[in-house]
Chain A
Amino acid sequence: MIDPIFLAEAAVNGILLGGILALLALGLNLIFGVIDIVWIAYVDLVMLCMYLVYFLVQVYGWPVWAGGLASLAFGALLGVAVHLLIISPILGSAPVNQLLATGGLLFFLQSFATFLWTTDHRSVRLSLPSFEVAGIFLPLTRVIPFAISILALIALYVFLTRTFVGTAIRAVSQDREAMSLMGANPQWIYVVTSAVGGLMAGLAGTLLIFQYSVHPFFGGQFGPLTFMICVLGGLGNMVGAFVASFIMSEIISIAGVVWSTEMGYVIAFVVFIVMIFARPGGILARRG
């Protein structure tokens, strides 16, 4: 049998991972909730930001906080660029075309990254201590990103509920036409939303590069997981995505310790399929 300490450790690690997954899922959901388009290439934007932090911090010796800030800015810029160049032209198109456009971006980004940096895995080496709590090892390289992600999520919540622009973003996701009657240019709201989504991708990238190595197909690792979380939580449902992030990360973490990492993913995905069958609207959706 598995030592309960390992299970407990896995559970804790699940929570630590969940924080970052929540950033990804909420970023994707935010954009979908407002613009009605799923950015299939979202996690590939994260991948680009990870590369940026790698080069700035590991290769050029920037301090970590500077690399992080650069990643945030870069992420926001990427978000705006994607919206203006790819999303804006196809806003009125059929869903299949919209999905293909962001899908094409996925191809493009993954191959361009391969061309620029080859498929070598790269990571940033940070030697931070771990501390022990009740027999469980907690590496700071995991705890700090978790703490930051929670702070970011709180900041997002405050932004969406207390600021004019944030409330406008929520309003647009509920009734776009009515918000334009309030004097808000929907296009501008979309750009801001894309910037925020991109910023979250940038933050996620910073937090991830210290725990995982980056390579052009990183999106293949975390992308499907993010999509699964979004669907599980109910597409567009922010609270649902938050909860689902932790559910998924717990399943992966614990199953990963009991069987193997891949099996962990597989089980999480099987749970996902079952949930689709039972509650297609997402775990927090009302029945029927």
Chain B
Amino acid sequence: MSLLALAGVTAGYGAFTALWDVALRVERGEAVAVVGPNGSGKTTLLRVISGMLPVRGGTLTFDGAALTGRPAHEVVAHGIAHVPEGRRLFPNLTVADNLKMGAYLPRARTRYRETLERVFGLFPVLAERQLQRAGSLSGGEQQMLALGRALMSRPRLILLDEPSMGLAPVMVLRLFDLIRRVREEGYTILVVEQNVRQVLKLVDRAYLLEVGRIKMEGRAAELAEQDFVRKAYVGL
């Protein structure tokens, strides 16, 4: 049984439908990417999975449990952590407080210290800047904090929305290295990215989402070979 399975998911905003009949799965321990051009619905997809946006049709199961229509705070309790687009850190809270909030769930709170040590181990710069206001961190540091905060909830699946957005190319490489390390810790990852080249190097499988529909899916290596993928999205 897949860890995460979407079937026939349709969702949108008001009169506008952003996702049509999306089917997707993520297996335990996998790293999966969803790529596609701007406005294809990638962010909507993640918002639907984490419960920030209700579905209009279709089903969503996580580890056997039906999560369709559950609100965000319940979805998180099941073990899905979502690092949203733009990171959505709490700007006036310190790095330490942001991480603390990541461990808000009761099951995470009891092992808070232990998880915090692990996160500091992965991201030593966060330990250095513990007492700094999150809003004053650099882009790369903020992304690390957002990732660290997600780890604090001891999730089973991590959703990453455009992690490379707004980062300098050097930072992007460092970031993907970090994501790789997180993956090596055993986390299952679903990442949505515009930087197709980099993300396909990181993941096992990928889906191509265009105008709200899954157009293609396959192993990352295969998709990387696709001509139109290389021509259309490389360098963006």
Contacts and interface: CB of A to CB of B under 8 A. Distances in A.
Instruction: Let me know if chains A and B touch directly in the complex, using CB atoms closer than 8 Å.
Output: yes
A257 interface: no
A94 B101 CA distance: 30
B41 interface: no
* Residues of A in contact with B, size category: 10 to 19
A175 B104 contact: no
B90 A181 contact: no
Given A164-B104, A167-B93, A171-B93, A182 B88 contact: no
Contacts of A168: 101, 104
A9 B93 CA distance: 40
B151 interface: no
A8 interface: no
A183 interface: yes
Nearest to A170: B93
A186 B76 CA distance: 13
A182 B92 contact: no
A177 interface: yes
Interface string B166-202: 0000000000000000000000000000000000000
Contacts of A158: none
B52 A181 contact: yes
Contacts of A178: 84, 88-90
A186 B104 CA distance: 12
Interface in A241-288: none
Contact of A181 (B82, B91, B92): B82
Interface in B92-135: 92-93, 97, 100-102, 104-105, 108-109
A180 B71 contact: yes
A130 interface: no
B105 A183 contact: yes
Interface of A: 164, 167-168, 170-171, 174-175, 177-186
Interface of B: 50, 52, 71-73, 76-77, 81-82, 84, 88-93, 97, 100-102, 104-105, 108-109, 149, 153
